[in-house]
Amino acid sequence: MSAQPSQDAAEWFDVGAPADFEDGEVAPVVADGIEMALFRIGDDLFALRDKCTHGRTKLSDGFIEDDCIECPLHQGKFAIRTGEPMSEPVTKAVKVFPVRVVDGRVQVSTAA
């Protein structure tokens, strides 16, 4: 799905409704041209850059286990909450983007 800038702050981008993201699932979204993998864990939402730091594989094609996303190519794992590498061969964290829910819409920020 494509994101549009929110009306109140240009750095936040609408990526859908909270119900679009199911618990324990990952969905690819694009905000300001940046591909992200958006996760729901319980009531919390997390956005990671949708690219493994070990290669060019999309993390949104990976597998979720124990609050980690496993890369589908070489099975490296990242912590969904922090982006930190959790198992070889990944050694570099993946970028985490801020997520918020405003007026019933999920927004992500591309800010550092």
Q: Contact residues for ligand FES (CB under 6 A)?
A: 52, 54-55, 57, 71, 73-74, 76, 89-90
Distance of closest approach, residue 100 Cβ to ligand FES, in angstroms: 28
Distance of closest approach, residue 98 Cβ to ligand FES, in angstroms: 24
On whether the CB atoms of residues 22 and 112 are closer than 8 A, the answer is no
Distance of closest approach, residue 66 Cβ to ligand FES, in angstroms: 17
CA distances from 41 to 4, 5, 47, 77, 110 (A): 24, 25, 11, 16, 21
User: Cis peptide before 89, with omega less than 30 degrees from 0?
Assistant: yes
End-to-end CA distance of the chain: 22
Q: Indicate the residue among 3 and 94 with the shorter CB distance to ligand FES.
A: 94
Q: Indicate the residue among 72 and 98 with the shorter CB distance to ligand FES.
A: 72
Q: Indicate the residue among 11 and 61 with the shorter CB distance to ligand FES.
A: 61
